[in-house]
Structure 1
Amino acid sequence: MIPTFVFVHGSGSAAHGWSATQREMAARGHRTLAIDLPGRGAGFTRAYYEQDLETFAAEPSAVRGLTAADFIAAVVDTVHLVRRHGPVVLVAHSFGGLPITAAANALPELIDHLVYIAAQCPVNRAPGEYPALPEWSSSALFPATAPLLVGDPAVRGFLRVNWRGADREQREALRNAIAAEFTEDEFLTVMLTSQPDEVFWLTGPEWDHRAGKDSWGRIPRTFVKLTEDRSMPLAVQDLYIAEGDALTPDNPFDVREVKSSHAGFFRKPAELVDILDELSGRAGAGAR
């Protein structure tokens, strides 16, 4: 049976981030669907585009009030939709690992494979506790984004990052953290399409959806390590893998590597698609 690959984006992104990957997948005969998580795909406000900073700082957010349940439901509903056509492979990048882990807990019998691309996979602690661990200390992402935060996310209830307002030095710090192999001009595309608002998932028990041994742990899974990642260091990726393997030693991660920064593979996805191409046969043969 032919599987459907469902792509789930990370923070600051949307379904369009997978476009090059989907083109490569389509060229090889695969069926794919990239979804917008709640609050995504609506574009930008005029205040953000024109850098009317006073208005931008004060205006409401499309993600305010959204909960973990909303994000999980988006993935669960998609699984139900595409499962009618055959096996389902969930592929997540970065933050997208959180909703696919929760969806796997809810629907283990409907998901045939999980793929984490330098994606969060909480097992032993709440998702928001991981960034405080020593493994995250070398991440270049947090210091690069800190100067661009608008307001206090703990007060506002969401994160707002003024990507468009970054000066050249700040853009260089972000490029180093997110996609160091991009040229300065190539990285401008990332900056101009990044979504400014994100849910504040770092706190609150509602986001505490950890991988479950008897649900998530039943599903075959792959972790694609991004070996040049300066946003989610290799030590963090290895930690998620080790915790998952310890939870279900009889069903460990199939670990692969792609030489890429945190976002570089989006521009040149062939190496990732080689891996997904191989997994397609497994998912189809093992369909439940």
Structure 2
Amino acid sequence: MIPTFVFVHGSGSSAHAWSATQREMAARGHRTLALDLPGRGAGFTQAYYEQDLETFAAEPSAAIGSTADDFTGEVVDAVHRVRRHGPVVLVAHSFGGLPVTAAANAIPELIDRVVYVAGQCPVERAPWEYPSLPEWSSADVFGAMAPLMVGDPARQGFIRTNWRGADRARRIALRDAIAGELTEEEFLAVVVTSQPDEVFWLGDTAWDIRADKDSWGRIPHTFVKLTEDRSMPLAAQELYIAEGDALTPDNPFDVRELESSHAGFFRRKPAELAGILDDVSVGAGAGSR
């Protein structure tokens, strides 16, 4: 049976990010569904567009009302909706790995494979503990984003980033950290579509999501390493893989590689990613449970 691929975006992103990959998947005969996680579009206001920074900083956010259960529920609901058509493969990028891992813990019997594209897959630690480890020490993204942060996330209850406020030098720093292979013009499209507001999950015990051996561990799982990633360094990706393999040694990660930055593949290598997903789909379809 032909599986349905459910795509889950990362932080500051939306379903739109997967559009080129979905076109490539459709050309290969696959069904796909890209999700908008809760709060998408929050912060796209007149004040943000016009860079009325005083008003923008004071505006409320839809992200503040979104919980870990809401994010997980969005994924679980999507799986239930498409499962009647056949096998289901969840594909998560970056932060999207958290709600996907939680969904895999909750409904393993409905999921035929989980694919992490440089996605967070915590096993031994809380998700927010990983960036402080040595494996993350070469990450450039935190320093590049810090000057664009608006307000105090811990006080506000959400993370607000003024992407439109980046001057050329800051955009180049962001591009180098997130999608270094893109041209300046191509990266402008990333800035324009990036979501200003994100849920504040750091340190929130409700977001202490970890792969569970008896549920997540039953599902075949693939990790696509992004070998030129400067946001989630290769060593950090390999740590997730090593911890997952130690948790379920009889069901280790199927590891693939894509020569890409953290987000450059969306524009530069959608066909290559689709080729990897097409390959794993053969096993997902044959192994429908």
1:90 corresponding residue in structure 2: 90
Q: Which runs of 5+ in 2 are unaligned?
A: none
Indicate the SS of the match to 2:64. Answer: coil
TM-score, with normalisation over the residues of structure 2?
Answer: 0.98
Q: SS of the counterpart of 2:255? A: strand
Number of aligned residue pairs: 288
> What RMSD over aligned residues (CA atoms) do the two structures have, in Å?
0.8
Structure 1 residue 134, shift from structure 2 partner: 1.3
What secondary structure does 2:124 align onto? coil
The 2-side partners of 1:41 and 1:259 are apart by 30
Equivalence for 1:175 = 175
Over residues 185-237 of structure 1, what are the superposed CA-to-partner deviations in whole Å (9 max), with x where a residue is unaligned? 11000001100000111111100111000000000000000000000000100
The Cα offsets for residues 86-138 of structure 1, whole Å up to 9 and x where unpaired, read as 00000000000000000000000000000000000010011111111111111
**Equivalent in the alignment of 1:275:** 276
| Structure 1 position 253 matched with structure 2 position 253 | yes
Equivalent AA in structure 2 for residue 132 of structure 1 = S
Give the alignment's TM-score, normalised by structure 1: 0.99
Question: What amino acid is aligned across from residue 275 of structure 1 in structure 2?
Answer: I
The letter of the residue matching 1:243 is E
* Residues in 2 aligned to 1:65 and 1:116: alpha-carbon distance in whole angstroms: 27
| 1:51 aligned partner | 51
Deviation >2 Å, runs of 4+? none
Number of the residue aligned with 2:237: 237
Percent of matched pairs sharing the same residue: 79
Alignment-mate amino acid for residue 281 of structure 1: V
The alignment partner of 1:5 has SS state of strand
Conservation of the 8 A alpha-carbon contact between 1:4 and 1:33? yes
Listed one character per residue, the Cα deviations across residues 35-79 of structure 1 (whole Å, up to 9, x for unaligned) are 100011467101001100000000001101211010000000001
Q: Aligned AA for 1:25?
A: M
Alignment of 1:1-288 (within 5 A): 1-41=1-41, 44-267=44-267, 268-288=269-289
Q: For the Cα contact (< 8 Å) 2:9–2:92, is it kept in 1?
A: yes
| Ranges in structure 1 where 5+ consecutive residues have no aligned partner | none
